[in-house]
Every structure is written in structure tokens, then in C-alpha cells.
Amino acid sequence: MHAADHYKEAERLMTICNSCRYCEGLCAVFPAMELRRSYENRDLDYLANLCHGCGACYVDCQFSPPHEFKVNVPRTLAQLRGVSYRSHAWPGFMRPMFDRNGLAIAVVTALSIAGFILGFALWHDPRVLFLGEGQFYRLMPHNVMAPLFGAAFLFSLLALGMGFRSFWCDIGARSVSAGSGGSLLQASRDAAALRYLDGGGVGCYNEDERPTDNRRLFHHLTFYGFLLCFASTSSGTIYHYAFDWPAPYGLLTLPKLFGIPGGIGLVVGSLGLIHAKLVRDRALMDPTKFGMDTAFLLMMLVTGLTGLLLMVLRETPAMGITLAVHLGAVFALFLTMPYGKFVHGIYRFGALALYAAERRLDRAAVPGAKRPS
Amino acid sequence: MDALDVLVVGGGNAALCAAIAARRSGASVMVVEGAPKFYRGGNTRHTRNMRCAHDTATQHLTGPYTEDEFLDDLLRVTEGNTDEQLARHMISLSKPMLDWIGEQGVRFQPSLGGTLSLGRTNSFFLGGGRAMLNALYLTAEKLGVQIQYDASVVALDVEDGRFKSATIRTVEGDKVVEAQSLVAAAGGFEANIEWLKEGWGDIADNFLIRGTPYNRGDVLKMLMAADVETIGDPTQCHAVAIDARAPKFDGGIITRLDCVVFGIVVNRNAERFYDEGQDFWPKRYAIWGRLVAQQPDQISWIIFDAKSLKMFMPSLYPPIAAQNVADLADKLGLPVEALEKTVRDFNAAVRPGTFDHTILDDCHTEGLNPPKTHWARRLETPPFYAYPVRPGITFTYLGTRVDREARMRMKGGLGAENMFAAGEIMAGNVLGKGYAAGIGMTIGSVFGKLAGEGAARHARG
Ligand SMILES: Cc1cc2nc3c(=O)[nH]c(=O)nc-3n(C[C@H](O)[C@H](O)[C@H](O)COP(=O)(O)OP(=O)(O)OC[C@H]3O[C@@H](n4cnc5c(N)ncnc54)[C@H](O)[C@@H]3O)c2cc1C
Ligand code: SF4
Ligand code: SF4
């Protein structure tokens, strides 16, 4: 199916749901839908990104297939999310990254890891990979590592920011001042708690009509694990430059205090989410996004796992390879953040902020009303 | 099948409340649902709220709704066609029902957007009727109730008011199930067009059925043949005007149209036939099914103009639009000149007034037959719109007579020994005529619980 078909289907469903409204109490999507009577593409982008895919409205719908109305909101909105990630990607020529995202991410990651292995080997004597002296910076001097990763990270931030800006304008965030402190605060709270991944209170639906709260738990572990790992790296960088205190760091230092639980969170969380994805009712999923979702989760898993392994293997000959894999994965992660599943977080945050603003004013945003000058 | 205590026939709200109550009373219970798993729960799948008495406002209800007020409402909508003793009994039991149903896992929310008028009296299910059913099924499964889908009862063995066994048809063939007691909760017969024709004649072929195709009244028929006493008008059903483009069965809530009061309604001859502005829509919507059923070919069109387009809840199908009345008539296949004349006459008869659809306003016609007594505004602002409507059947009134314990009564007045009924199949006891939103579920839950408890008590001695 093409993007236009997905929009058409979403419009059909929203018209049905707006005549029904039974799901109004389940999440933010339905009240947002009720503020409108017709749905153009940019409204639908907003609603799609507001949906957390908890599945409740599918399990609870009297019109879901095999009923002839074939109402499947979670799948249709998941498909639209895919379309919107692609259309907001910046720079525009990177959009095809979303076409076979799993493959694309795998290739970038493999190249990146290979690059680090090769780099270590060429830079030094190949044997340096297997020295096992516990000295990361012997393999890659900090003065090389920091600018390389810094540059990748800054590029990602720029690309993510541009994508977000395009989404933000399209959905009409400014027409309801969604950038106000109140809306951003509300959105942060809702995002931090994954408020709408709870099926309206009982947990989300994954493999059948029995709700559990597992996906929310594993998402929390992954997300907060990611943040902790990020904090670990940042604190390490600060130690290095501000205090001239080079790695390795002891167990009771900030990089370790952040890094160890963070790594464990990443590993357990991503494994849990991968498992949930494998057993998920296929009816709820956009089959074409399986690659993208799984690639991202695997990336999280590899990052967390190699990070933890590095601590254990630091003094062994396996350290060199592990470091190359870890850095390769992280580098690829930074590079591909704007072109993979990572973007779901920023668009969802934008949608939540818009929702908070719409609720406060009790009126719908006007899509694409004002372009930033 | 060894020693089953309670056999529950049906799979909707009434059946599940009975099954859960019986199981909680210690009985072994089997539920046989004629529909496949997805369609389990008959018309309950399409519901959104129930009406229970309560003394104070709650998290989800905006104010108190006393038993007396509930009874007044019931007497008004049924015009006295109710067993008042039984109705009082049900209403007093509706109070603790809200808590009980919550304990079975059903969750509530404040009234839905567009239904504010029910916010005080009716409790809305979070996620709607199917969510409510999912919760009940989950609870029943956890308690150890056996549940069979695609299993319809095709015969009952009843002797002198005593149930002995039921024949159940599944894909694997027929089997006979014996049980100590029976709860019949298999709904009405609204999906049985042949039966509807007995009351309405051939015009019933043009009726649409709003809910499940599985409520064919087979069990009711078997019980009638076994000399159970009936109650309720056998020829009547609750009918509303729904979008004529809706599917024959199971179109549910989204095919309803709330715009009659904003325009005029014409039949195949492009003639008006009833006062569209007689009273508030919630008080009048249920007469329009019958009115449309009396028109040629059982079809009519609601016609309004651009002024009204956004004043009512949206519905599934878009209205048919045209820039002038003649083109609209053309699109609808109505006689052009006749429709133009009807609109012209109507417009000429509209008296000036202050339009306000939230009150019985003073916008009315003069010298027009039939008149439009409120909300009459000229049809003059293009585009002009139309919705085609047909009668949509919600449920039937004929049912089995029951007592305070939901026990069926046999012809001759004696109570059945071990047969109970709940839900739509006995709704006629309290709802002999008319309808008030949410009462169907109250009848199902209250009598379902009574029936389950009674059936368990009988079985366990
Ligand atoms: C569109 C719509 C909206 C409605 N909204 C509301 C509302 O908001 N509030 C309200 O109170 N009421 C509402 N009603 C009315 C309400 O649906 C019924 O009053 C209520 O569901 C009746 O419950 P029940 O358990 O008796 O019957 P049902 O829920 O209809 O269940 C009957 C069951 O019996 C099964 N069955 C039938 N024959 C056999 C057989 N031979 N063997 C085995 N199983 C059999 C059917 O498959 C079905 O599962 C609505 C009705 C419709 C159509
Ligand atoms: S998903 Fe189904 S039940 Fe929920 S609002 Fe839409 S049509 Fe109604
Ligand atoms: S899947 Fe969950 S979050 Fe998405 S629209 Fe349905 S209920 Fe809302």
C-alpha cells in the first residue's frame, strides 16, 4: 500500500470512531479525534504519533475484523507513523533510509563496527587489539574519540531537530501554542510515565485479549537505561576534560554508577521488548515496520551488552574486539538516530505537547497554520 | 458430561452475569454461546452504558439518581406497561449492581462526548460493550466457568416445568448436555426476519437489524413450546431510523442519525409525514423507526441545509449533498417537482423565531400539515444535504414471564422447577413498551445475577 492509501484508511477509521466514541476513555487519540470532524493528512500524522499502540481499542472494538467495517486503529496508525517518519526525515534525500530500515541500519552498523576494528588495527599494530591491558585510550585516543562521536551526535541532533520542526509545523503546534511551558511539562510527564501505554488502566494488549503491563515496564527499562548510559558517557567526558581524570573509573564513580544499571536496563528492557514483539498479535502490527523496530531494539541490546562486557573483559585479550563492537554500535546508533525507530520518541513528544495544548483550549489545532519565519 | 450444575445458554451480559454469579455460589457452570468467539456477546457488544440507581454523585456520575426517579422514568417510557413490583425490585437491586459489576472487572468512565444528557443517570463502560464483555469473560474463565463458542442450543428437553437436558450443535456435531438447572439468556428474536414478519408482514424484509445476527429467538421458541408463560407484545419491537446504507445486520451505534430535528423528513413521494420538531431527540428518536416503517418501501430521507451540518454527532456515512433542491432530488431518485414543492411549502410556513436546539424553541411552522413545532428553519443555504433512513430494529419485546428470582413461570401460574431467564429474553417483564437508554443492561445484569444464584441454589440443594 502507498502512503495515500494509509491516509485514506485512517480517515475512514477516524470517521467511524468519531461516530462511535466508545474508546474515548482509553487514551489521548480519541479525545483528540473528537475535537475534529474531518481529517486531513496532517491531522492524521498527529493522531498517529499520539497513539502508543497499546492495542486496547482493537480488542475492545465491536467492529474489528472479521466484522465488515474492519476497524483496526492500532495497525492503521502504526502504518501512518511509518509514513510520517519518512516524510519528516531531514535532509530529504535520506528518506529512503526508511524504506528498508532494518536492512539499512544493519548495514550501517556492520560498516561502523568493521570500521572501528579496521581502524584500531591500522592505526596501531593489529596485535594491539588483543593486548588486554585495560587501556581503552591506547586503542583510540580520547582526542580522536570525543570529536568523532561529538560530531556524529551533533549531526544527529541537527537532523532530529529539523525533522521535529517539520512535524511541529505540520501538525499546527503553534496555532494552539503547544510550545508553552504548561504543555511541554504535561507532555514530559505523560511521556515519562508512558501514560497512554496502559490500555486505559489495565495494561496494554499484546498477544491476546488479556492485558499486561509488561511492555510499559520493558520500555521504561530501555528508555531509562538509555538515559543512564548517556549520563555515564557524559560524566566520563566531563571527568576527562574538566578534571583531567582519565578512564578507567572505579565502581563508585559516576560513570559506573550510571553505566552499570543503565546497561542492565538496556539489555533487559530491549530483550523484553523484542520478546513482546515476537509474540505480538500480528493483526496489531504494521508488518513493514518489523525490521525497523527490531533493528533499533537490537542496537540497544548490543550497545548495552557490549558496554557491560567491556567492564568484565577489560583486562582480557577480548577487550579490543569488544571495544570496537561497542564503539561501532554506539557510533552507528548516533548516526542513524534520525533515520530509524528512535524518532518515534520525539514525534510522540510533539504530539503529546499538542494534545496538552488542545485540551487546555478545548479546540483543535489548525494544521500547518504558521510556518516559522 | 458428568454432573453439570448450571447450563447457561447465551453469551451476552445476562449470560455472563448469571454464569459468574452461579460459579461464585459454588456451582459448576457451562456457558454455551451460539456465536463464534469474535461475535460472542450478542447485542451486548454494541452497548455503551447501563442505568443504575445511586444515592450520590461518583467519580463517573454527575449526580444522584434515586430509585423513585428511576421508577418514574420507567413508568413514563413504558406508559405503565411494566410489572411494577418486579420493576421496583430490579431498581433496588440496580444500586449494588454498579459495585458488583465493577468487582467482576468491568470499568467505567464519565459519559461520552455527545451524551451529556445521560451523565447523571447512566454509567458508561470504559472501552464500550465489548470491553465490558472481555472483562466478564476473563473473570468467568478465571473462576473456572467452561465456555463454548459456536455452540447453539437446538433443542431443550423440558418435562412439566423441569429442565432435563439441552441439545447443543457444534462443528463436531450435536451433543446432549444435562444439567441441574438452566439459565436462558439467549436474547430476543430481532434477527429472525421470518418471525418479525408475523407481526409486521412482508415489510419486515426492508428492516435493518442493528445488532447481532445470532439472536434468532430459537431458545424463546423452545421455551414457549415447553409451556413457559410469555409476556410482552409479540408483534412489537424497538425500532429507530438508521442510515439506510447500513449493513443488514450488526451496523451498531455508528449508523444512527441524530439530525431529524434539524430538517424535514420526506418519503418516496417527497412528502413530509410527521412533525420533526415535536420534542427533544432523545425523547422522540424511538418513534421514527415505526414512522419510516409505515412509508412506502420503508424508506425516507432526512433533508437539511448547510446551517445544520455541524450541529449533531457525525455518523458513519457522509450525507448526500447538492447545490440546489432539484439536484438533490435527482441524486436521491425522488420526484424533483414534488420535493421542490415540499421544501417551498415548508419554507413559506416557517415563522420567524430564535433558534436554539437546546430548548423547545419558538421556531415553528404555521398552516402546514403536518406542522413542525420547534426548530423549524427555512431550507435555503446550500449545499443541501440528505440522509436516507430505514427502520433499524434494536430488540423485541416478547419474552418469558419470570418472578422475583428470575425463575420462569409456566402457563397456569406455577414457577418452573429449575429454569431461569435473564436479559433480553425476559425484558418484557419490566419493559413492556418504549425504552430508556441503559435499561437493557440493567435488566441483564440484575436478573442475570439473580438467575445464576437461583440456578446454583437449586442445583446445590
Ligand atoms: C446498537 C445497540 C446499542 C445498544 N446500546 C445499549 C446501551 O448502551 N445500554 C443498554 O442498556 N442497552 C443497549 N442496547 C440493548 C442491549 O444490547 C441489550 O438489551 C442487551 O445486550 C441484552 O443482553 P442479553 O445478554 O440479554 O443479550 P445479548 O447480549 O444479545 O446476548 C444473547 C446471546 O445469546 C446467544 N444466542 C442466541 N441464540 C442462541 C442459541 N440458540 N444457543 C446459544 N446461544 C444463543 C447470542 O449469540 C448472544 O451471544 C443496545 C442494543 C443495540 C443493538
Ligand atoms: S475503535 Fe471501534 S469501538 Fe473504539 S471508537 Fe473506534 S469504532 Fe468505536
Ligand atoms: S492502540 Fe491504544 S494508544 Fe493507540 S489509539 Fe488504540 S487505545 Fe489509543
A60: nearest CA in chain B?
Answer: B131
Task: Please check whether residues B372 and B256 belong to one and the same domain.
Answer: yes
> Taking phi first (over 0 means left), then psi (-120 to 50 degrees means alpha), and beta for anything else, what does residue B57 get?
beta
* Joined grid coordinates for residue B230: 410469555
ipTM for the complex shown: 0.94
Total domains, chain B: 2
Query: Which residue, B350, B376, B392, sits at the end of a domain?
Result: B392
Question: Which residue in this structure is represented by grid cell 591491558?
Answer: A133
pLDDT at position B126: 96
**Which one, of B352, B331, B328, lies nearest residue B340 by Cα?**
B328
Decide: B289 in ligand 1 pocket, CB within 6 A.
no
CATH of the domain at B447: 3.50.50.60
pLDDT tens for each residue of A157-171: 999 999 999 999 999
Mean pLDDT across B16-41: 98
Q: Whose CA is nearest to atom 7 of ligand 2?
A: A17
Q: What is the mean pLDDT of residues A227-237?
A: 92
Please check whether residue B277 is in contact with residue B365, taking contact to mean a CB–CB distance below 8 angstroms: no
Asked whether residue B259 falls in the same domain as residue B214, the answer is: no
Atom number, ligand 1, closest to the C-alpha of residue B424: 26
Task: Mark which of B392, B416, B432 sits at the end of a domain.
Answer: B392
Q: Is A62 in contact with B114 (Cβ distance < 8 A)? A: no
Q: State whether A60 and B313 contact (CB < 8 Å).
A: no
At B113 the pLDDT is 79
Judgement on whether residues B293 and B359 belong to the same structural domain of the protein:
yes
| Domain count along chain A | 1
Best of B37, B47, B123, B216 to mutate for ligand 1, by most ligand atoms within 8 A of CB? B47
Per-chain mean pLDDT for chain B? 96
Cβ pairs A/B, distance under 8 A: 79
**Of A135-149, A225-239, B389-403, highest mean pLDDT:** B389-403
Helix (H) or strand (E) holding B241: strand B237-243
Rounded to a whole number of angstroms, the CA Rg of chain B reads 23
Distance between first and last Cα of chain B: 20
More confident of the two residues A370 and B461:
B461
User: Is A93 part of any domain?
Assistant: yes
Cβ atoms within 10 A of the Cβ of B456, count? 24
Q: What is the predicted pLDDT for the residue at A132? A: 60
- Pocket test of ligand 3: the residue of A30, A34, A49, A52 to mutate, having most ligand atoms within 8 Å of its CB, is A52
User: What pLDDT is recorded for position B283?
Assistant: 82
**Could you say which residues from 60 to 79 on chain A have a Cβ atom under 8 Å away from some Cβ of chain B?**
60-63, 66-69
How far is B392 from B238, CA to CA, in rounded Å?
A: 8
- Domain co-membership, B387 together with B410: no
pLDDT value of position B2: 57
The percentage of chain B sitting over the pLDDT mark of 70, rounded to a whole number, equals 100
| Domain boundaries, position B295 | 238-392
DSSP label at residue B23: H
Residue whose CA is closest, atom 40 of ligand 1? B152
Our CA angle for B250, B198, B160, nearest 5°, is 95
Q: Which residues of B touch A37 (CB under 8 A)?
A: 310, 314
Question: Per residue in A62-83, pLDDT tens?
Answer: 999 999 999 999 999 999 999 9
pLDDT digits (tens, 9 = 90+) for A299-312: 999 999 999 998 88
Q: For residues B54 and B52, give the distance between their C-alpha atoms in angstroms, rounded to a whole number.
A: 6
pLDDT digits (tens, 9 = 90+) for B148-158: 999 999 999 99
Residues B40 and B186 in one domain: yes
CATH number of domain containing B257: 3.90.700.10
Domain assignment present for A372: no
Say whether both B267 and B164 belong to one domain: no
Nearest to B149 by CA among B5, B350, B11: B11
| Grid cell of B354 as nine digits | 430564535
Better pLDDT: B92 or B111? B92
- Domain identity same for B373 and B417: no
Mean pLDDT of B118-127: 95
Residues B289, B213 share a domain: no
pTM of the full predicted structure?
0.94
| Residue A358 belongs to a domain | yes
Q: What is the 3-state secondary structure (H, E, C) of chain A?
A: CCHHHHHHHHHHHHHHHHHHCCCCCCCCHHHHHHCCCCCCHHHHHHHHHHCCCCCHHHHCCCCCCCCCCCCCHHHHHHHHHHHHHHHHCCCHHHHHHHCCHHHHHHHHHHHHHHHHHHHHHHHCCHHHHHCCCCCHHHHCCHHHHHHHHHHHHHHHHHHHHHHHHHHHHHCCHHHHCCCCHHHHHHHHHHHHHCHHHCCCCCCECCCCCCCECHHHHHHHHHHHHHHHHHHHHHHHHHHHHHCCCCCCCCCCCHHHHHHHHHHHHHHHHHHHHHHHHHHCCHHHCCHHHHHHHHHHHHHHHHHHHHHHHHHHHCCCCCHHHHHHHHHHHHHHHHHHHHHCCCHHHHHHHHHHHHHHHHHHHCCCCCCCCCCCC
Q: Beta partners for B256? A: B242
Q: How many residues does chain A have?
A: 373
CA distances, B55 to each of A235, B68, B116, B455 (Å): 59, 11, 19, 31
Task: Provide the pLDDT confidence category of residue A121 given band limits of 50, 70 and 90.
Answer: confident
Q: Are B335 and B329 in contact (CB under 8 A)?
A: yes
Chain B residues touching A18 at Cβ < 8 A: 314
- C-alpha to C-alpha distances, A183 to A29, A75, A105, A366, B247, nearest whole angstrom: 16, 28, 34, 17, 43
- pLDDT attached to residue B205: 97
> Are both B183 and B269 inside the same structural domain?
no
Sole residue written with cell 423549524: B376
Distance CA(B327)–CA(B334), nearest Å, equals: 10
- Tell me what pLDDT residue A369 has: 54
pLDDT score for B207:
97
Question: Is the distance from the beta carbon of residue B188 to the nearest atom of ligand 1 less than 6 Å?
Answer: no
Q: What percent of chain A has pLDDT over 90?
A: 77
**What per-residue confidence (pLDDT) applies to B114?**
78
Least confident of A1-5, A134-138, B395-399: A134-138
Contact between B253 and A24 using a beta-carbon 8 Å cutoff? no
Residue A371: the pLDDT is: 41
Mean pLDDT over all residues of chain A? 92
B242 shares a domain with B207: no
Relative to beta strand B415-421, strand B173-184 is parallel
* Nearest CB partner across the interface for A20, out of B107, B247, B253: B253
B193 plus B312 within the same structural domain: no
Three-state SS sequence of B150-175? CCEEEEEEEECCEEEEEEEEECCEEE
| Tens-digit pLDDT profile for residues B190-243 | 999 999 999 999 999 999 999 999 999 999 999 999 999 999 998 888 999 999
Residue A373 domain flag? no
Of B198, B409, B389, the C-alpha closest to B294 is B389
Ligand nearest to the CA of A22: 2
The residue to which cell 551533533 is assigned:
A154
Judge if the beta carbon of residue B48 lies within 6 A of ligand 1.
yes
What pLDDT does residue A113 have? 93
Q: Which of B335, B369, B392 is the last residue of a domain?
A: B392
The answer to whether residue A371 sits within a structural domain is no
Which pLDDT score, from 0 to 100, does residue A372 have?
A: 40
Residue A370 belongs to a domain: no
Domain region containing A104 = 3-365
- Residue of A8, A24, A39 to mutate for B, most B C-beta atoms under 10 A: A24
Proportion of chain A above pLDDT 70, given as a percent: 95
Cα A57 to middle of ligand 3, angstroms: 6
Whether ligand 3 lies within 6 angstroms of the CB of A55 is answered as yes
- How far is Cα B230 from Cα B399, in angstroms, rounded to an integer? 5
pLDDT at B249: 98
- Does A197 reside within a domain? yes
Residue A370 banded pLDDT, cuts 50, 70, 90:
very low
Identify whether A316 is part of a domain.
yes
Closest chain A residue by Cα to residue B36:
A66
Who has greater pLDDT, B53 or A243?
A: B53
In this prediction, residue B1 carries a pLDDT of: 46
Verify that B403 and B364 share a domain, yes or no: no
Which of B45, B104, B107, B130 has the most A C-beta neighbours within 10 Å, making it the best mutation to test the interface with A? B130
Q: Is B128 in the pocket of ligand 2 (CB under 6 A)?
A: yes
